[in-house]
Structure 1
């Protein structure tokens, strides 16, 4: 049996607004924009994607699953994402070499530091 990773689904209040935010943050393209779902991918035919789905309930606590990103320049990327509307987050991480941020709906994600040799 073979499995292909299609996408990560993100429950949210406003799928189109959050999907647009992530598309701009990542430089990805929109492949589906409907009232039921908003999907973005790195390129139209490239997987995996992010699928934003509207749900009625609010986010209440720390995500059990989150995305990690490793940029070329951590400080520059954190500055860019904060200017784009991300917020710093404290999830009890303490002093670590990564930065925890939240998207506009409070979903945590990490911006990692340089890869160790």
Structure 2
């Protein structure tokens, strides 16, 4: 998954990035960049920064879909609402044994603006 800063200037891979929230500021620590951390987002309140981190976690946990799923017309609106707030992924079962592997799709999370939290 890719993380994009609130202003769109920074794009980092989530899998090798550490994030911290100190008050109303969210910073990313990427091994190649340095110790200070890169400001990914700044909010007016600590609570908004906390909610933005929850939005990130919600996106990262994602949703798994089967290739053979059927969505009825009654469930379509609910499905689309859920899909728009989650990351996507595919579960692939290998033919040798019970081994399963999760392969994430190209998920991008951009930290929302203050008024979007």
Verify same fold: TM over 0.5: no
**More helix, by proportion:** 2
Class of the TM-score when normalised by the shorter of the 2 chains: under 0.3
**Using CA pairs below 8 Å that are at least 6 residues apart, which structure has the higher relative contact order?**
2
Task: Calculate the TM-score normalised by the size of structure 1.
Answer: 0.25
TM-score calculated relative to the size of structure 2: 0.25
Query: Who wins on radius of gyration, i.e. which is larger?
Result: 2
